[in-house]
Amino acid sequence: MSFVTLGELFDRPCDRPHLTNVKNVIAVSFPSGWREWSVLDRPGHLDLDSATLNKLRFAIPTLRLFDAFFPSSSYVSERKLKFIRDELLSWPFGRALILAPASISIAVRGSEEKYVEFVRNTDALRRLFLSRKEANKLMSTMKAGEVCSSAPSEAGGEEGEIDVAPRPFLPPPPPPASVSSTPAEGVQVGSRLSALEASMTAIRSELSNMTAAFRAVAPPPALAPDDYSSASPSDSEEEGDFQSVPGNMPLDSTSQECDPWALPSSLPAYSFDPMTVEKDPEVLEPSPSILAQGVKCQRLGESDMRRPRR
């Protein structure tokens, strides 16, 4: 099987107007040198199953591909998408533009090296390869003069015969001009940077002055432990030092002098011997008067209680 270039396939005559529109899309979209890319010259259709057909992707900008087939529609249904796929597969130049799956693209080009080269050459166009849902959303918002029309009456429903009419190809918009700064803008930027540096220098100077002022205010010297006993109560009260000790509270141990958190030596001694405590009865004993009254009410000890009646 021989090889053929994309330019040779492109120059072959085609009697279908929508495929001629696809040629115009390729002519203005592909990078320079695309006519020299080589593929296998495969006659006839590719024998592909339904799962592989659903995965087919072509290296053609999606919006302009839909515009080439259906110039008066802003919505492409699944049925129309299948029609586009079948038309491209039956066209030798369309088969040469298969990008995915990789196995099909490699078989079309004859080697994996040519496939890798094709992917690298069309990588700049990858952002223009959209899904049907994304393309429909963009087409519905296009302005007049581009791909714009009313949505179908029943999206996804049954449609009539597909009407494909030729349409003059719209050239792509020119790329945006690169942003360049004028000399006047450069002077403005330079002056702003100078003002920013001057303000930062002033802030650093102010911080240095504040630091020097804080360091100039030295804290009062703390009293040594030997000076606690000689310090008068009035001096301690005026200074308000939390480490000062009143004159009537002598320091009688070295540990207390060293550790201000030490326990005082006058703590009471606790005994941990076991001790039994008698619990009070739940019902307390009655007072003598109440006890006498209760006995009288029950007639305890009387003669009648000694001779009970039946």
At 170-181, the pLDDT tens digits run 455 455 444 444
Do the strands 98-100 and 3-5 form a parallel or antiparallel pair, or are they unpaired?
unpaired
Domain assignment present for residue 69? The answer is yes
Q: How confident is the model at residue 226 (pLDDT cuts 50, 70, 90)?
A: low
Instruction: Name the nearest CA neighbour of 164 among 95, 65, 68, 76.
Output: 68
Residue range(s) defining the domain that contains residue 64 = 3-42+55-139
Amino acid at position 127, single letter: R
Digit-coded pLDDT (tens) for 48-98: 898 999 999 999 999 999 999 998 888 999 999 999 999 999 999 999 999
Residue 29 domain-assigned (yes or no): yes
pLDDT for the residue 191? 75
What CA–CA distance (Å, rounded) separates 94 from 78?
19
Q: How confident is the model at residue 142 (pLDDT cuts 50, 70, 90)?
A: confident
Whether the Cβ atoms of residue 82 and residue 141 lie closer than 8 Å to each other: no
Q: How far apart are CA 23 and CA 133, in angstroms?
A: 24
* Residue 167: φ, ψ to 5°: -145, 135
Q: Are 47 and 195 in contact (CB under 8 A)?
A: no
Task: Please compute the mean of the pLDDT values over residues 110-133 and round it to a whole number.
Answer: 93
Whether residue 103 lies inside any domain: the answer is: yes
Mean pLDDT (whole number) for 253-267: 59
Tell me, yes or no, whether 86 lies in a domain. Answer: yes
> Residue 212: inside a domain, yes or no?
no
Number of domains in the chain: 1
If you average pLDDT over residues 227-252, what whole number do you get? 46
Question: Rounded to an integer, what distance in angstroms lies between the CA atom of residue 139 and that of residue 154?
Answer: 17
Q: Give the confidence band of 147 by pLDDT, cuts at 50, 70, 90.
A: very low
Instruction: Answer whether residue 13 is part of any domain.
Output: yes
Residue scoring higher pLDDT (282 or 309): 282
- Asked whether residue 26 is domain-assigned, the answer is yes
Question: Is pLDDT of 194 > 90?
Answer: no
What percent of the chain is modeled with pLDDT above 70?
64
115, part of any domain: yes
